[in-house]
Amino acid sequence: MDHSVNAPLRDNVRLLGDLLGECLRQQAGDGLFDTIEQIRQASVATRSESGAPLTSLRDLLSPLDDDTLLEVARAFSQFLNLSNIAEQHHRERLHRQHQRYPGDPGGDQGLRDVLERLTQQQIPAETLTDTLRSLSVELVLTAHPTEVTRRTLIRKYDQIADLLGELDRADLNDEERATLRARLRRVILAAWTTDEIRREKPTPVDEAKWGFATIEQSLWQAVPDMVRQLERQLMEQGLPQPPADWAPVKLASWMGGDRDGNPNVTATVTREVLLLARWMAADLYLRDIEELLADLSMEMASDELLSVTGPSHEPYRVLLRDVRSRLKLTRRQLEARIENQPVADGDGYTHREQLLSPLLLIDRSLRETGLADIADGDLKNTLRRLNCFGITLLRLDIRQESTRHRDALDAITRYLELGRYGEWDESRRQAFLVEELQARRPLVDAAFRTADECTPEVREVLDTCQVIAEQGSEGLGAYVISMATTPSDVLAVMLLQKIAGVREPMRVVPLFETLDDLEGAEASMRALLAMPFYRERVASGQEVMIGYSDSAKDAGFLGAAWAQYRAQEALTALFAEHQIPLTLFHGRGGSISRGGSPTRMALLSQPPGSVAGRIRVTEQGEVIRFKYGRPAVAVFNLSQYVAATLEATLLPPRAPKPQWREQMQILTDVSVTGYRSVVKEEPELVRYLRTVTPETELSRLALGSRPARRKKDAGIGSLRAIPWVFAWTQIRLMLPAWLGTGAALEAAHEDPGQSALVREMAEHWPFFQGVVDMLEMVLAKADLNVAAWYEQRLAGGDAGLEALGQSLRERLTGAVGALSALTGREDLLDNNPVMRWSIRVRDPYTDPLHLLQAELMARLREQDGDETLESALMVTIAGIAAGLRNTG
């Protein structure tokens, strides 16, 4: 670890810890402070070389009463949040100094690095320029059912980070430094005295507002800053500037549109979220226009502009006042529509071009009159925002499960006395759908909505399509079909949009999630492309979504990763054959078992040719906050996507050798068998999950708007992938990330031929390198002793559960050993000292939270409904999530 580079991080962690300690003494007294410090020292001792037993820590916690447990949990949780702030600020500090954060696996690099490498590889400047100009990166913000930090605390944490930034200034005198320290202490005190737990479950509209807040507070500034930075780096390389409407990164959202398994997302909710997004966009542009009004006071203007404004000493202000008035009208009209009140007359902004036109007129006039420097200031920032955000802020995707569409069409065919669509075979369904899609007559009339066949569930599907028709295409993105398995699943959504009278249909995107669906993806899309009617519809491009969460839950991390890779290969080849552009939409999350990995590693580990200048990726929950919650970090992460997409397009990773593919299939077969032998065949696993992990308690907490389960039964099959990962992460067993994969690596290690081949793959194949690196990171966060303590406290004496727990821990030990044999490193993360330090500095604070959580779960199960215990449990969940830096 580079001590000179990272010394400021350690100093910040120490400063924040000291200030928290001062607040604890003041608010809770020396008694509680001394108890917390005693627990911390005991926790440090358990992690020391002498290795004091966990029982020493347990003996300190067990006698504490419920109220004290709550305060202890809050203290350790708060320290972990402060540590995260310090680490995030350190990343900002290094970005400003143009230094790479040593703890970032995958070697993320900016556009400057990539342009230099492309030049060295003699990529023609024309190719590079054309690729950059057509580059399309779309980040899809999604709600996270395990996002645990309240927005009011996030605001305070941002204030803390800002104050750390001010303290970095070298020109501060002692008085200024003392003043800043006092302000920092006040914010920490405010955070300590604020309830960190959300008491009511957020609604889908609340989640959407959370996404809007990220744009308002960070991305609104970060997007133009990022484009300005990229343009400067292109200039440094002597490359031409991109066109004025260049928008390499755009934003979409699932918040308020993702109704898959979430009955709280209705057509009414989607309509409200779309209107709120437009309102927020109008409000943000109004702030921009007010700034421009203040600045553009000059008299010189082009004849073109004066022909619009008439003679004036301040022609720009004349035009901008009109823009301001129209934006205010737009806001009033949207407010009235949201509140179902009469809408004011007048022409509000309904399309991007309406707002863009006067701003471009001002831009042309400034440049024509020798004021290009003025045009390149705030006006250019506003134009860049319009390129990215439009007047809708972001595009909203709709997601729904395939059987809901099937049920709607079944109701329609029964109403029309055509039979039962749900019972038809695939060929008959396709024939019916294609015929109706090409027919000019409407399929059903308005009377269908009052028919017996039109159940509330069917009506909701139709109402959603009606909202799509009402809102128009500008604020809408993709219609994603989860659990898509057949061509008719895609055609069904196209027909339902036609029935609703959608003039500009949303593009329909099948989501292939399970192992079987991924393996059948190419066949499904080939069948669709065999239809001339469909080929014509998607001639300009097709989007296909690859699921990470559910595929990993179905087949394990390694089996899912290989299935995703092969599906992308097959789809890339298929659409190249038909000369139709393909955009792959990656449904990634924050954790390894849900596809999470550093940006460059993720993109350069995809099959060669599969990126092709276009990428769409989900960014979820706490990942949004960590990557885009602050402007400086957001600029870095946005530019990472641009750079990595360019690199993956023009310098694609090497294709795997045939023997690598064969070996990968062997590993996968062993992995899937090992994973499913536990997850699907172990009779005690469901009981273990519900007894030893906080899976049951999670469903009681006000974490997200979506239910933790798709259905009411208690089986693993109904449990959503995110809570599945979250529950195992909380007890540090990390089971979804390594189960099966460890067995595959162990089996390969025992065969000298396979062992040598796997080492070669890890060294030379980017896809497999990414698998190994991410596995190493997650195994470094696993902890056998912590997992065993949960089991001892919550399942002690249950022979069946204890036997399963022992088996799982032995498998984890085997996975660690096999990985060490592969990498040649005895200690995990020997090659990543900063991450290792980050984990170790957190362990003395996460360990007490783990033991507290197990104790609280045990007490709550005996005293159901105890408010103090429930609050303390929620604090431990939040604290552990903060300590591990990921949840689900």
CATH code 1.20.1440.90 region(s) in the chain: 250-389
> Within 13 Å of residue 248, how many CA atoms lie on the same side as its CB?
29
Q: Which residues pair with 511 in a beta bridge?
A: 545
What's the pLDDT score for residue 177?
Answer: 94
**In the numeric block, which tokens belong to residue 173?**
């005198």
Q: Any idea which residues carry the catalytic annotation?
A: 144, 553
What's the pLDDT score for residue 703?
Answer: 57
Whether 613 and 131 have beta carbons less than 8 Å apart is answered as: yes
Could you tell me which of 89, 242, 10 has the C-alpha nearest to residue 631? 89
**DSSP character string of 558-592:** HHHHHHHHHHHHHHHHHHHHTT--EEEEEE--SSG
Question: Which residue is listed with tokens 């920092």?
Answer: 184
What's the pLDDT score for residue 106?
Answer: 41
Q: Which residues pair with 254 in a beta bridge?
A: none
CA distance 496 to 169: 59
* Residue ranges of the chain with per-residue pLDDT less than 70: 1-4, 49-52, 98-109, 144-149, 588-597, 699-722, 831-832, 834, 886-888
**In the numeric block, which tokens belong to residue 646?**
């360019």
CA distance 469 to 471: 6
Using DSSP bridges, classify how beta strands 249-253 and 395-401 pair: parallel, antiparallel or unpaired: parallel
- Could you give the 3-state DSSP secondary structure of residue 482? strand
CA distance 770 to 648: 14
CA distance 217 to 159: 12
Q: No. of H helices and E strands in the chain? A: 39, 8
CA distance 49 to 27: 35
Percentage, residues of the chain above pLDDT 90? 64
What's the pLDDT score for residue 810?
Answer: 96
Report the chain's mean pLDDT, rounded to a whole number. Answer: 89
- Give the orientation angle of helix 66-96 with respect to helix 867-884, to 10 degrees: 20
CA distance 458 to 657: 49
Determine whether 519 is exposed, middle or buried from the number of CB atoms within 10 Å of its CB (0-12, 13-18, 19+): middle
According to the 3-state scheme, what is the secondary structure of 761-809?
HHHHCHHHHHHHHHHHHHHHHCCHHHHHHHHHHHHCCCHHHHHHHHHHH
What's the pLDDT score for residue 1?
Answer: 45
What's the pLDDT score for residue 104?
Answer: 46
What's the pLDDT score for residue 597?
Answer: 60
CA distances from 801 to 577, 678, 695, 739, 743 (A): 53, 13, 16, 17, 21
What's the pLDDT score for residue 42?
Answer: 86
**In the numeric block, which tokens belong to residue 169?**
């200034």
Whether 584 and 544 have beta carbons less than 8 Å apart is answered as: yes
Could you tell me which of 838, 886, 510, 540 has the C-alpha nearest to residue 730? 886
Could you tell me which of 771, 443, 441 has the C-alpha nearest to residue 593? 771
Give the CATH architecture of domain 250-389: Up-down Bundle (1.20)
**DSSP character string of 586-640:** EE--SSGGGT---HHHHHHTSPTTSSTTEEEEEEEHHHHHHHHSSHHHHHHHHHH
- Predicted confidence (pLDDT) per residue in 580-634, tens digit: 999 999 986 544 434 446 777 888 889 999 999 999 999 887 778 888 988 988 9
Whether 279 and 289 have beta carbons less than 8 Å apart is answered as: no
What's the pLDDT score for residue 590?
Answer: 47
Whether 772 and 823 have beta carbons less than 8 Å apart is answered as: yes
What's the pLDDT score for residue 748?
Answer: 95
